């Protein structure tokens, strides 16, 4: 090829010389001719010799050889086709593949089987290997340092946590609550009714917390116990209070008057002691009294007294006293206005309304007249109803005393009569207070004998209302008819007669009875005037309206008593003149009846002098559990729901059924509700002495419509004030009756819509129980209750701990009442004493360690940013895990700082008197707004502090867990200690797939369980709870927790199918698969650990001993690992490692990994380009291609590659193609070790086929060579003259050399030339760092096809240009061309002082493109496939290159004017095959 310009005729004259040389070197000729003839290259032969090269033509021999080759080709078998059809590029690819695998195997072992290879190791490789060993040792030491640092940090952090929160102390407090208050509630978290809630409050809250001192225990607990008297104090423990006096209260009603009292009031002495004669025992006023001591601020009698016989003796201290009188029965509700008129002659139209403010009001006008009317009725019924046996004396009294006389006496006897006395130091007594009857008729006790009574009646007389007069006339006519129709009977029979006749006849004064004692008459003069009147003692009678004679004292109302409508005043001087109707308003105009009488007793001091019996009140110590004192009160807070329409019902029939029902709506209800039970007669805490007006405004009382019967008999509806509202929202001030200002709402979330009640710690147990009864009977819980929060705060002075307990009861719309609780302890004294100071120092050290960790991680991020690869840092999951841990720790410390700031400013008051008056008679939950606000603020601070501490502890606990994982991660480097982390890492892929499958199955079973059993089984009422339940059953299977409930909630066959399928699939299959995954991964990791791998202790001891030796031993006796590394790096002169350089070059020049398809098929970027390019042809070309008949030609692999490479793309399209290849190649990637094993297996099989084929070819070649040799010998003998047919002397030496084989002919491995390179400059280099742009320098060397440097240590480096994107070097270098050198490579790097230098790109100039002695001056593009095309598309480097031949070779060629055949052939073969060991 080097002389293709010369023709064959130039060698014709020298044919004879050529033949001789051919004969001398016939064996070489035979080899060359056989190959050339076999390939059909005509007769152009290269005949190798030591100093010359000739060219000749052999037409005849070539023709013969070709003919014979054709004959032989017909006899070739498939192995010959295997050789012929194998592409050279494919063979080269296989060669490079197996060479790379072998090289990796050799690099990974420390064994060298031959000394030749050991001696062949270059100095650079030795240095690199030692550097790797040193770095491994230093890395191990660094790992142990990191492990010690993270372990120390972990221990420090845990120590700080223990100092910050003493869980043991907190447990002692919280356990006491759990064992008492919480354990008393049902374990299933549900209570059955409101009554159970109140019972829990009563038994476990009130009775446990509100324990008053027990009198009689021998301890005088002041101020709750003090020297006592009566019902006050504790005499058994504190002794008796001696400065007391005794008073006697003797108060009796008219029906209970004794004979002694009756003699003083009733001159006739006929109506005393009538209580036993009253038929309707329940219809009595129920007069009671009590004495209030202003000294004791309480009533002296525990209950109001109703005296029946003996006077009441009361022990009183010095000081003012008040006698309170009560009427405990509403008499006005027992009798109508008409009946009052019937018995009292008071016109119903003039009757006053009941104006009493309380049910037990004493002295109300309407109550007074009603009580006296009922008294009149009861006396008359007692005399004339016949419902009881009467003695003769009683019968005489009834018959001889006119009812009007008793009327006057009764109207003068309302209430109680008596006095209050005390001993005056002698046997006599001193009257402290007289208590008279409240007399409507002031002289009423004198009866008819005192004319002033009738005169007063005449003064208030009015015409009767029309309806009433007609009614009375009708009754009189009926009485007359009955009396006239009654046959005469003896007196005793008629007296004992009962029924309506007797009742009617007794109605107006018992006239019918009196008729039995006299004769009939038609005029007053018909009666015997000599009969004496037993009542007056005067003679005379009158004729009654019924036509019978009677005593004059019985004729009082003219029109109703006398036969002619007029009493005979001439015959009966004191008769008549009593009006038919009286005006009640006039009669009662000046009437008054006091219900209180003030008096005083001062026996041991001067009047007005203050007296102290009870010690001053103090805040009671209420303990929830031993040593845990209640602060303030037990708070009961309610959230209410408004009522709205039932909008969820769409069925019309159901909607009609629920038309009168109301449904709960969203939002909060803030309307006051409930009724004050203290003012409700049906309540157990009812107190009739209290009036709503005294405690409630009109707007605070409910209004109701009542039916009222008028005096004329008509009925009307009126709106009246009803019961008082008991419960008000927090925004309402019950003391002022107005909304609170927002400043009094308290801190925290809006509570103004909630309803608060308090069991104040100052209250006694009886008062607390009364408050509970108030809540229960006042309907604190009703249909709109949503939640009730029972909250309390306690303080333990021994442990300096506050406990915050909150129980929440939720009234679910489904009907259940769920309860839950939150219990937390908190302390507010921080950094006190030596322990606090030590804690503060350790916290500061811990924060410093945390900051150092963050700076270390930020340093790594900064390095990533400097080298323009920050994403690589964040793609490492362990880096993300470290940041999560550090961030969580910062969050924890911030929470701790906020908590410390909160508790450092904590304040509380000595006491929180929330309720305005714990002993209030009504409106028990009225609060002092300011004190309530202060207490709610205190509770908010405690709640906020406890929540903050709980959140901090939770975050800190997470940090501890993350700490443990980080410690395990730092143990990963150790062969034996890192088993756990490496096992999890190895099994991570399988675990993720298993977790996904397990989640699908597990969640499916949870959903099925919720649908099947959730309607009855609590643990499957919602999907979340169902998942938790199934997990617990998976870990600890317990059929007793679900068997009965689940079998009733679903058909039994469904339950069994669900249960056993779950156990089979989830437990027996999936759970064991999980164990198998972990065990398999563990076994694999365990197998990788060498048996002689050092343990953790041995390595730790080795590292420590090495560090100690480095510190203790002098430098001239020991070289530390760090110093040794510096010495080795000095040998490198700042150049990167050979392996690093090779990896960078291979990475920069290697195309993307192909897409591997089944069957060994691969698709690389070139194939993908051709496929996409074909689809982008225009439509016309596609149509033309469809219509044409495709003819497929058998192109070899090289032609196909050339066609694929002919597709031209721009940079962006190239990047798109690479992205597609990389994306799909990842899907087909396999393990590298497995890939190498598969490749070796395939290559072994192909190698066997190739050996068989080469063996067959060698056999045929041997025959062909023999034939060619024989033919050449004949031709030589035929054409040479006889004198030249002798064999030369050196023929034997040549033959011997030929017989010696190729080894003796092998070209020496020496320098084949020189390349002069000038690196002039570069331009448009990409920025590699954020701060300094780029610091470029160049490495210049020669490489072979697989990326190895062929110049070895002859690698040149330019100087570094700081922060220069357009550097100028003008550096000249000369590089020797070695045997395997194929290309000149210029690699540009960016200098980085923090991490390793980054590759900018490379320029590859094939040596085949450089002609000898020709100067090349060009700009070459810089290539780097791993960098974005946009960043590097304009980057170029300016090179000046000149290739020079070797000096010795040039001199030889000048002498012979012929090229070196052997060397050129070797070079040509190297260029053709790509170079390398196997090329």
DSSP state of 616: P
pLDDT in tens, 1096-1116: 888 888 888 888 888 888 877
How far is it, in rounded angstroms, from Cα 552 to Cα 573? 8
pLDDT in tens, 602-628: 988 888 888 989 888 777 889 999 999
Q: By C-alpha distance, which of 640, 639, 641, 659 is closest to 649?
A: 659
Compute the CA torsion angle 447, 448, 452, 457 (nearest 10 deg). 90
Does the pLDDT at position 974 exceed 70? yes
Give the DSSP letter of residue 679.
G
pLDDT given for residue 52 in this prediction:
36
Q: Which of 838-847, 939-948, 1350-1359, 1406-1415 has the lowest mean pLDDT?
A: 1350-1359
pLDDT band, residue 599 (cuts 50/70/90): very high
Token readout for 803 is 């406990």
Cα separation values, 881 from 872, 966, 1110, 1205, Å: 15, 9, 35, 46
Work out whether strand 755-760 and strand 429-435 pair parallel, antiparallel, or are unpaired: unpaired
CB contact at 8 A, 347 and 463: no
Cα–chain center distance at 245: 67
DSSP-assigned states of every residue in 1143-1210: HHHHHHHPPPPPEEETTTEEE-HHHHHHHHHHHTS-HHHHHHHHHSPP------HHHHHHHHHT----
Query: Among the listed ranges 285-289, 1191-1195, 1427-1431, which one has the minimum average pLDDT value?
Result: 1191-1195
User: How far is CA 646 from each of CA 160, 664, 1358, rounded to the nearest angstrom?
Assistant: 57, 8, 88
Q: Which two tokens stand for residue 845?
A: 């050290």
Higher-pLDDT residue of 146, 1198: 146
CB within 8 A of 676, min separation 6: which ones? 692, 695, 696, 723, 724, 725, 726, 774, 778, 922, 923
Share of the chain above pLDDT 70, in %: 73
How far apart, in Å, do the first and last CA atoms of the chain sit? Answer: 21
Please check whether residue 1152 is in contact with residue 1221, taking contact to mean a CB–CB distance below 8 angstroms.
Answer: yes
Distance CA 1026, CA 1034 (A): 12
Coil, helix or strand for 352? coil
pLDDT digits (tens, 9 = 90+) for 221-249: 888 889 999 889 999 899 999 999 999 99
Residues forming a β-bridge with 1412? 1443
DSSP-derived pairing of the beta strands 1368-1377 and 1383-1390: unpaired
Question: Which residues sit opposite 636 in a β-bridge?
Answer: 757, 790
Average pLDDT, stretch 449-477? 70
Looking at per-residue confidence, does 1026 or 389 come out higher? Answer: 1026
| Helix axes 1232-1279 and 78-85, enclosed angle (nearest 10) | 100
Mean pLDDT along residues 551-571: 88
- Please report the pLDDT score of residue 1420 as a whole number: 94
pLDDT level of residue 662 (50, 70, 90 thresholds)? confident
Residue 1423 DSSP symbol: B
Q: What is the DSSP letter of 252?
A: E
pLDDT of 1479 strictly over 60: no
Over the stretch 73-119, which tens digit does the pLDDT of each residue have? 544 445 555 555 556 666 666 666 676 666 666 555 554 444 444 44
Mean pLDDT of all residues belonging to the chain: 77
Q: Please tell me the predicted confidence (pLDDT) of residue 43.
A: 38
Q: How far is CA 1004 from CA 547, 870, 1007, 1058, 1061, in A?
A: 104, 42, 5, 11, 12
Task: Convert the pLDDT of each residue in 177-204 to its tens digit.
Answer: 999 999 999 988 889 999 999 999 999 9
Taking the mean position of all CA atoms in its chain, how far away is CA 182? Answer: 22
- pLDDT greater than 80 at residue 252: yes
Greater model confidence, 1380 or 633: 633
The rounded distance, in Å, linking the Cα atoms of 1363 and 1328 is 10
Cis peptide before 607 (omega within 30 of 0): no
Question: For residue 1240, is pLDDT > 80?
Answer: no
Contact 156, 849 (CB under 8 A): yes
- What pTM value is reported for the model? 0.70
The predicted structure's pLDDT at residue 893: 94
Show the beta-strand stretches assigned E in 1229-1335.
Answer: 1313-1323
Alpha carbon 735 to its chain centroid, in Å, reads 40
Are the CB atoms for 237 and 799 separated by under 8 Å?
no
Q: Would you call 420 helix, strand, or coil by DSSP?
A: strand
For residue 466, what is the enclosing H or E element? helix 466-485
Q: What is the mean pLDDT of residues 1308-1321?
A: 82
**Least confident range of 183-192, 258-267, 663-672, 1057-1066:** 258-267
Cα–Cα distance, 974 to 981 (Å, whole number): 11
Residues 6+ apart with CB under 8 A from 1272: 22, 23, 26, 29, 30, 33, 61
Question: Are the CB atoms for 1081 and 983 separated by under 8 Å?
Answer: yes
Query: According to the model, what pLDDT value does residue 490 have?
Result: 37
Q: Which tokens sit at 661?
A: 């029902």
Report the range out of 483-487, 1160-1164, 1270-1274 with the highest average pLDDT. 1270-1274
Tell me, what's the pLDDT at 447? 84
CB hemisphere CA count around 696 (13 angstroms)? 27
Q: What is the pLDDT of residue 379?
A: 79
Query: Residue 503 is encoded by which pair of tokens?
Result: 């009742």
Q: Is the dihedral of CA 1118, 1120, 1124, 1130 positive or negative?
A: negative
When mean pLDDT is compared across 1219-1223, 1250-1254, 1349-1353, the lowest value belongs to 1349-1353
The pLDDT tens digits for 1447-1472 are 555 444 444 443 443 344 334 433 33
pLDDT of residue 70: 52
CA 75 to chain centre: 86
């Amino acid at each position: 090829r080097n002389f293709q310009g010369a023709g064959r005729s130039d060698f014709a004259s020298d044919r004879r010389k050529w033949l001789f040389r051919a004969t001398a070197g016939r064996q070489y000729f035979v080899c060359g001719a056989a190959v050339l003839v076999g390939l059909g290259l005509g007769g152009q032969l290269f005949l190798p010799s030591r100093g010359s090269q000739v060219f000749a033509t052999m037409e005849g021999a070539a023709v013969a050889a070709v003919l014979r080759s054709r004959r032989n080709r017909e006899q070739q078998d498939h192995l010959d086709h295997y050789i012929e059809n194998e592409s050279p590029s494919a063979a080269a690819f296989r060669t490079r593949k197996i060479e790379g695998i072998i090289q990796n195997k050799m690099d990974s072992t420390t064994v060298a089987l031959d000394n030749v290879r050991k001696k062949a190791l270059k100095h650079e490789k030795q240095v690199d290997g030692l550097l790797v060993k040193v770095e491994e040792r230093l890395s191990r030491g660094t790992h142990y340092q990191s492990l010690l640092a993270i372990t120390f940090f972990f221990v420090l952090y845990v120590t700080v946590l223990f100092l910050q929160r003493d869980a043991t102390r907190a447990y002692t407090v919280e356990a006491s609550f759990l064992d008492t208050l919480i354990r008393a509630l049902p374990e299933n978290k549900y209570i059955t009714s409101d009554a159970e809630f109140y019972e829990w409050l009563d038994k476990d809250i009130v009775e446990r917390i509100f324990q008053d001192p027990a009198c009689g225990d021998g301890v005088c607990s002041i101020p709750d116990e003090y020297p006592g008297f009566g019902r006050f104090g504790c005499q058994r423990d504190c002794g008796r209070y001696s400065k007391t006096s005794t008073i006697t209260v003797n108060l009796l009603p008219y029906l209970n008057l004794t004979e002694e009292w009756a003699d003083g009031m009733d001159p006739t002495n006929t109506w005393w002691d009538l209580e036993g004669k009253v038929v309707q025992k329940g219809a009595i006023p129920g007069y009671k009294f009590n004495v209030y001591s202003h000294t004791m601020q309480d009533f002296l009698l525990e209950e109001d007294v109703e005296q029946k016989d003996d006077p009441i003796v009361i022990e009183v201290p010095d000081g003012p006293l008040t006698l309170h009188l009560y009427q405990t029965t509403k008499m006005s509700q027992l009798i109508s206005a008409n009946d009052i008129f019937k018995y009292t002659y008071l016109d119903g139209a003039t009757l006053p309304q009941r104006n009493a403010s309380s049910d037990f009001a004493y002295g109300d006008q309407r109550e007074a007249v009603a009580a006296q009317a009922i008294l009149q009725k009861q006396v008359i019924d007692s005399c004339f109803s016949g419902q009881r046996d009467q003695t003769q004396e009683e019968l005489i009294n009834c018959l001889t005393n006119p009812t009007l006389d008793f009327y006057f006496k009764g109207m003068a006897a309302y209430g109680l009569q008596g006095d209050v006395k005390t001993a005056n130091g002698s046997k006599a007594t001193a009257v402290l207070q007289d208590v008279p009857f409240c007399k409507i008729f002031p002289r009423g006790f004198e009866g008819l004998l005192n004319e002033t009574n009738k005169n007063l009646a005449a003064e208030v007389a009015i015409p009767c209302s029309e309806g009433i007069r007609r009614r009375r006339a009708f009754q009189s006519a009926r009485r007359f008819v009955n009396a006239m129709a009654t046959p005469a009977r003896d007196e005793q029979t008629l007296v004992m007669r009962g029924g309506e006749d007797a009742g009617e006849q007794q109605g107006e004064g018992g006239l019918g009875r009196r008729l039995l004692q006299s004769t009939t008459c038609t005029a007053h003069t018909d009666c015997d005037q000599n009969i004496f009147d037993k009542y007056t003692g005067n003679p005379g009678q009158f004729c009654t309206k019924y036509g019978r004679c009677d005593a004059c004292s019985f004729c009082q109302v003219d029109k109703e008593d006398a036969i002619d409508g007029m009493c005979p005043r001439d015959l009966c001087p004191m008769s008549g003149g009593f009006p038919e109707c009286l005006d009640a308003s006039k009669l009662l105009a000046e009437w008054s009846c006091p219900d209180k009488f003030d008096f005083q007793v001062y026996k041991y001091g001067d009047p007005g002098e203050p007296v102290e019996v009870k010690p001053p009140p103090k805040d009671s110590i209420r303990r929830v559990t031993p040593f845990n004192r209640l602060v303030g009160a037990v708070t009961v807070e309610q959230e209410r729901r408004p009522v709205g329409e039932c909008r969820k019902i769409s069925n019309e029939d159901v909607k009609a059924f629920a038309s009168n029902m109301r449904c709960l709506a969203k939002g909060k209800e803030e309307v006051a509700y409930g009724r004050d039970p203290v003012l409700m007669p049906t309540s157990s805490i009812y107190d009739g002495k209290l009036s709503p007006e005294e405690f409630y405004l009109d707007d605070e009382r409910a209004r109701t419509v009542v039916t009222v019967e008028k005096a004329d008999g008509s009925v009307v509806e009126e709106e009246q004030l009803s019961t008082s509202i008991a419960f008000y929202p927090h925004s309402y001030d019950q003391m002022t009756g107005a909304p609170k200002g927002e400043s009094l709402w308290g801190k925290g979330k809006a509570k103004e819509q909630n309803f608060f009640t308090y069991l104040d710690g100052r209250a006694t147990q009886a008062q607390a129980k009364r408050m509970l009864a108030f809540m229960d009977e006042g309907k604190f819980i009703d249909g709109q209750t949503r939640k009730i929060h029972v909250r309390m705060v306690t303080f333990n002075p021994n442990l300096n701990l506050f406990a915050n307990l909150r129980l929440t009861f939720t009234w679910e719309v489904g009907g259940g009442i769920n309860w839950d609780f939150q219990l937390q302890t908190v302390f507010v004294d921080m950094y006190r004493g030596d322990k606090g100071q030590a804690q503060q120092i350790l916290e500061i050290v811990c924060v410093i360690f945390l900051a150092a960790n963050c700076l270390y991680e930020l340093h790594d991020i900064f390095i990533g940013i400097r080298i323009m690869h920050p994403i690589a840092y964040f793609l490492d999951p362990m880096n993300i895990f470290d940041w999560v841990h550090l961030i969580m720790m910062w969050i924890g410390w911030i929470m701790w700082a906020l908590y410390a700031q909160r508790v450092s400013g904590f304040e509380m008051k000595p006491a929180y008197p929330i309720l305005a008056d714990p002993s209030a008679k009504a409106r028990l939950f009225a609060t002092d707004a300011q004190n309530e606000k202060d207490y709610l603020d205190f509770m908010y601070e405690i709640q906020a502090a406890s929540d903050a501490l709980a959140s901090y502890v939770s975050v800190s606990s997470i940090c501890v867990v993350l700490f443990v994982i980080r410690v395990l991660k730092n143990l990963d480097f150790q062969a034996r200690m890192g088993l756990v982390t490496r096992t999890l890492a190895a099994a991570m892929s399988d675990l993720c797939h298993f977790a996904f499958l397990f989640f699908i199955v597990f969640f499916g079973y949870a959903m099925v369980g919720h649908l099947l059993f959730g309607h009855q089984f609590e643990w499957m009422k919602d999907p979340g709870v169902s998942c938790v339940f199934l997990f617990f059953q998976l870990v600890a299977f317990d059929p007793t927790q679900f068997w009965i409930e689940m079998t009733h909630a679903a058909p039994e066959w469904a339950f069994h199918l669900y249960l056993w399928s779950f156990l089979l699939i989830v437990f027996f299959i999936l759970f064991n698969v999980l164990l198998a995954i972990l065990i398999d991964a563990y076994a694999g990791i365990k197998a990788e650990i060498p048996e002689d791998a050092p343990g953790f202790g041995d390595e730790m001891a080795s590292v420590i001993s090495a560090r100690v030796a480095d510190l203790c031993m002098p430098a001239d006796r020991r070289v530390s690992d760090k110093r040794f590394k510096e010495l080795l790096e000095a040998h490198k002169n700042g150049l990167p490692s050979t392996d690093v350089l090779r990896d960078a070059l291979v990475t920069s020049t290697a195309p993307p990994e192909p897409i591997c398809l089944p069957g060994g098929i691969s698709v690389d970027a070139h194939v993908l380009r051709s496929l996409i390019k074909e689809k982008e042809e225009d439509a016309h070309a596609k149509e033309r291609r469809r219509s044409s008949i495709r003819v497929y030609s058998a192109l070899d692999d090289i032609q196909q590659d050339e066609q694929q490479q002919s597709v031209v793309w721009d940079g962006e399209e190239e990047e798109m193609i690479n992205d597609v290849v990389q994306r799909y190649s990842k899907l087909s990637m396999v393990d590298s070790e497995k890939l190498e094993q598969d490749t070796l297996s395939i290559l072994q099989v192909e190698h066997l086929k190739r050996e068989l084929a080469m063996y067959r070819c060698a056999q045929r070649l041997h025959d062909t060579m023999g034939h060619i040799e024989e033919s050449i010998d004949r031709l030589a003998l035929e054409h040479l003259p006889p004198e030249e047919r002798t064999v030369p002397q050196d023929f034997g030496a040549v033959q011997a050399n030929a017989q010696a084989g190729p080894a003796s002919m092998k070209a020496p491995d020496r320098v084949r030339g020189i390349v002069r390179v000038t690196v002039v400059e570069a331009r448009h280099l990409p920025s590699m760092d954020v701060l300094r742009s780029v610091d470029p320098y160049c490495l210049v060397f020669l490489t072979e096809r697989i990326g190895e440097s062929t110049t070895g240590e002859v690698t040149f480096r330019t100087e570094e240009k700081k922060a220069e994107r357009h550097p100028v070097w003008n550096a000249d270098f000369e590089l020797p061309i070695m045997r395997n050198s194929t290309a000149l490579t210029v690699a540009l790097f960016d200098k980085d002082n923090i991490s390793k230098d980054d590759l900018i790109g490379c320029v590859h100039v094939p040596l085949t493109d450089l002609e000898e002695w020709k100067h090349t001056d060009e700009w070459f593009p810089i290539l780097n496939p791993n960098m974005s095309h946009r960043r590097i598309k304009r980057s170029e480097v300016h090179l000046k290159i000149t290739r020079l031949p070797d000096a010795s070779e040039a001199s030889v060629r000048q002498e012979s004017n012929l090229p070196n055949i052997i060397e050129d052939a070797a070079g040509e073969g190297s260029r053709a095959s790509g170079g390398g060991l196997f090329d």
